[in-house]
Chain A
Amino acid sequence: MKKTYKIEVDCANCANKMEEAAKATTGVKDATVNFMTLKMIVEFEEGADAKAVMQEVLKNCKKVEDDCEIFL
């Protein structure tokens, strides 16, 4: 299952870091952050609860870039 979320982040490198952080979250199969369109596309693992996983993703992203936001 793939879902797209709107995000807010100021710098391109931070966007890359968010991508890394999202990818490393359990329940996430793959993640792409598009800095230009400010979107995060997350592909979830089979059977993962998207809402719970995204809370974790947000937490992990906040860790690497305090100034980011994901609109869930």
Chain B
Amino acid sequence: MNKKQKKVFLRIVAAILCLIVIQFIPMYNGYVEFILYMIPYFLVGYDILLKAIKGIKNKQVFDENFLMAVATVGAICLGDYKEGVAVMLFYQIGELFQSYAVGKSRKNISDLMDIRPDYANVEKEGGQLEQVDPDEVEIGSIIVVQPGEKVPIDGVVVSGSTTLNTSALTGESVPRNATVGDEVISGCINENGLIRLKTTKEFGESTVSKILELVENASSRKSKSENFISKFARIYTPVVCYSALALAVLPPLVRMLFMGLSPEWGDWILRALTFLVISCPCALVISIPLSFFAGIGGASNAGVLVKGSNYLETLSQVKYIVFDKTGTMTQGVFEVKEIVLDKDTQIDKEQLLDYAALAESYSSHPISKSLQKAYGKKIEQGRVSDVKEISGHGVSAVVDGRNVLAGNEKLMQQQQISYMQPDEVGTIVHVAIDGNYIGYIVIADLLKATSKDAVKALKKVGMKKIVMLTGDSKKVADKVATELGIADVYSELLPGDKVTKVEELLAQKSEKDKLAFVGDGINDAPVLSRADVGIAMGALGADAAIEAADIVLMDDDPLKIAKAIKISKKCIRIVYENIYFAIGVKVICLFLGALGIANMWAAIFADVGVMVIAVLNAIRALSVRKL
């Protein structure tokens, strides 16, 4: 409890003690009773009364303070001292609880995301270490990370080797090895060895800062339910207040003028005051954002970054899921399996690989990386010129003065070069030099270990349609799809075709069902933004993915997709539980209050009790481990 909360707590305790004492004092005189009850009343409620007066001055009449002031003063005027004091007392208890619970969950969530490094050890000339604020470290500085410390800034290892624990970022404690030359991202914990890093980014641009910023700002993007609640609260309170006024005035007048009965003003005013106590929308206004906040916090702890409450809400309605194959379901690590030469060619296998690797050397596509890996030697960029990427087809380049074409069969067709039909399943890179076909390279990609289970899990969480899109050949795509158990596959798509396909699917589905696209964030940014929810895989270090996607899975595990959906569903279920529960109880109490069945005590429950229950329920969204 902070200072403010402690003060309120002491006032509450003092007021309760006062009330207990008062019960033992024999009452002979109404005035004495009144004065005695005023002691706990002002003790616990003076600030509310002051705020109410200030509110009226500032023309902000319908706030909770005003409602509570009117309700309690009204009750006291009617002689219900005990009720008046109790309403004020419970209102304060409720407020205190709320402020405590919110503060606590704020702290819980920031603890979960406790990846902010406090310092960096900068190596000075002569090898001395100096602890500085990570913000002050310049790019290219040498920093030392000792065992047990967090990596403060992204960098490259210059000496030493160690195992890094990425669990704070990914939610999984799979250790990563890092040695000289490896890139290391901030937020990981150094487990055993001492490493020296050369920083490649400023702290503000480092992974850890980006993630923190993203999570902290996530709850600022409000969901539809949140907007609904703030609108509801704006209308609800005045409506209840005017109904209360009507309830206090109309029935007695009708009784008096038309029915010839006694007006019973006191009874009806008391019913109206009950209305006022129920009218506070706190339970809703606090519990809905709290649920989202807790849900987002819990998700980020599990390695799923959600960029906004609105995306969490949309994710829970996803029924159509569209995958990219490469990097999402497969490892995206390609390896050259085989090189096949055309029978008429003079060139040998090694030379073919040479040409292909050099021609593709400017591309960041996984295929070109695997070619370079198989090539094994350092690429002499001087040998390559006039590189043209033909999107979805391949590349053309001049290597050692010869025109090299490397790409899929579409490229060969486009250039009107006859090519061999390969028997092998995999990605095929056909190569032609100076317009003559010389052969092809077979590159294959492996499925991720959890891909199969991921598809099963998605079916289990109620996906209506699971679709796989790929730029890869039909043969490879069909094989992967059968292995995974996906029925809908569209292959040989250009990046633009993927957008068109997603748009087709968007048009097919009903408005209520949402579509999610899952990609690795590399060259599928347009599709990620076109889908209702864009999910990027394996964002460790990939800035593009963090920028383009709405939801980022911190590790490469496709199982996390189903987990993210489960988290969102749980969170939204809690949100709706709270909405229905709070509005439901309030409406029932209002109704019973109007009939005179529910008294002030029921009203207190409808206000404070509901709020406490709703807040406790909201906090449940935080626990996502077992989903």
B575 within 8 A of A: no
A66 contacts which chain B residues (CB < 8 A)? 51, 54-55, 58
CB <8 Å contact, B60 and A39: no
Cα separation A63 to B58 with both chains bound (whole Å): 6
Q: Which of A1-43 contact B (CB under 8 A)?
A: 10-14, 16-17, 32, 34-39, 41
Check A36/B58 contact, CB under 8 A, given A11-B98, A13-B64, A13-B282.
no
Chain A residue nearest in CB terms to B99: A10
How many whole Å from B12's CB to the nearest CB in chain A? 16
Cα separation A32 to B55 with both chains bound (whole Å): 23
CB <8 Å contact, A41 and B220: yes
B95 within 8 A of A: yes
B58 contacts which chain A residues (CB < 8 A)? 63-64, 66
B230 contacts which chain A residues (CB < 8 A)? 16
B289 contacts which chain A residues (CB < 8 A)? 12, 35-36
CB <8 Å contact, B64 and A37: no
CB <8 Å contact, B51 and A32: no
B286 contacts which chain A residues (CB < 8 A)? 11-13, 35
Cα separation A36 to B59 with both chains bound (whole Å): 27
Cα separation A14 to B293 with both chains bound (whole Å): 18
B233 within 8 A of A: yes
B233 contacts which chain A residues (CB < 8 A)? 13, 16
Check A63/B60 contact, CB under 8 A, given A12-B289, A16-B230.
yes
Chain A residue nearest in CB terms to B222: A32
A67 within 8 A of B: yes
**A-B CB contacts (within 8 Å), total count:** 64
B190 contacts which chain A residues (CB < 8 A)? none
Cα separation A12 to B233 with both chains bound (whole Å): 11
How many whole Å from B343's CB to the nearest CB in chain A? 64
B585 within 8 A of A: no
How many whole Å from A41's CB to the nearest CB in chain B? 6
B219 within 8 A of A: yes
CB <8 Å contact, B64 and A34: no
Cα separation A17 to B282 with both chains bound (whole Å): 13
Cα separation A11 to B282 with both chains bound (whole Å): 8
Cα separation A34 to B233 with both chains bound (whole Å): 17
How many whole Å from A59's CB to the nearest CB in chain B? 11
Cα separation A67 to B290 with both chains bound (whole Å): 21
Range of interface residues on A (Cβ < 8 Å)? 20 to 34
How many whole Å from B67's CB to the nearest CB in chain A? 11
CB <8 Å contact, B285 and A12: yes
How many whole Å from B324's CB to the nearest CB in chain A? 32
A67 contacts which chain B residues (CB < 8 A)? 51
Check A64/B220 contact, CB under 8 A, given A11-B98, A13-B282, A35-B289.
no
A16 contacts which chain B residues (CB < 8 A)? 230, 233, 285
Cα separation A64 to B56 with both chains bound (whole Å): 10
Cα separation A16 to B289 with both chains bound (whole Å): 11
CB <8 Å contact, B290 and A13: no
How many whole Å from A4's CB to the nearest CB in chain B? 8
How many whole Å from B167's CB to the nearest CB in chain A? 24
Q: Which of B68-108 contact A (CB under 8 A)?
A: 95, 98-99, 102, 106
Cα separation A50 to B383 with both chains bound (whole Å): 54
A39 contacts which chain B residues (CB < 8 A)? 216, 220
Cα separation A41 to B290 with both chains bound (whole Å): 18
Chain A residue nearest in CB terms to B219: A36
CB <8 Å contact, A37 and B282: no
Q: How does the 8 Å CB contact mask read for A48-68 relative to B, with 1 for contact and 0 for none? A: 000000000000000111110
Cα separation A14 to B219 with both chains bound (whole Å): 17
A65 contacts which chain B residues (CB < 8 A)? 60, 63
How many whole Å from A36's CB to the nearest CB in chain B? 4
Cα separation A65 to B63 with both chains bound (whole Å): 9
Cα separation A64 to B60 with both chains bound (whole Å): 6
Cα separation A38 to B54 with both chains bound (whole Å): 24
The residue in A13, A38, A63, A64 that gathers the most chain B C-beta atoms within 10 A of its C-beta is: A13
Cα separation A12 to B287 with both chains bound (whole Å): 9
Cα separation A13 to B99 with both chains bound (whole Å): 13
B593 within 8 A of A: no
CB <8 Å contact, B60 and A11: no
Cα separation A17 to B289 with both chains bound (whole Å): 15
How many whole Å from B236's CB to the nearest CB in chain A? 11
Cα separation A22 to B102 with both chains bound (whole Å): 23
Chain A residue nearest in CB terms to B54: A66
Q: Can you list 11 residue pairs at the A/B interface with Cβ under 8 Å?
A: A12-B282, A12-B290, A13-B286, A34-B219, A36-B102, A36-B106, A36-B290, A37-B106, A37-B220, A64-B58, A66-B55
If A13-B63, A63-B60 are given as contacts, then 6 extra A-B residue pairs at C-beta distance below 8 Å, sorted by A number, are A11-B95, A11-B286, A16-B230, A32-B222, A34-B220, A66-B58
| Chain A residues engaging chain B, CB cutoff 8 angstroms | 10-14, 16-17, 32, 34-39, 41, 63-67
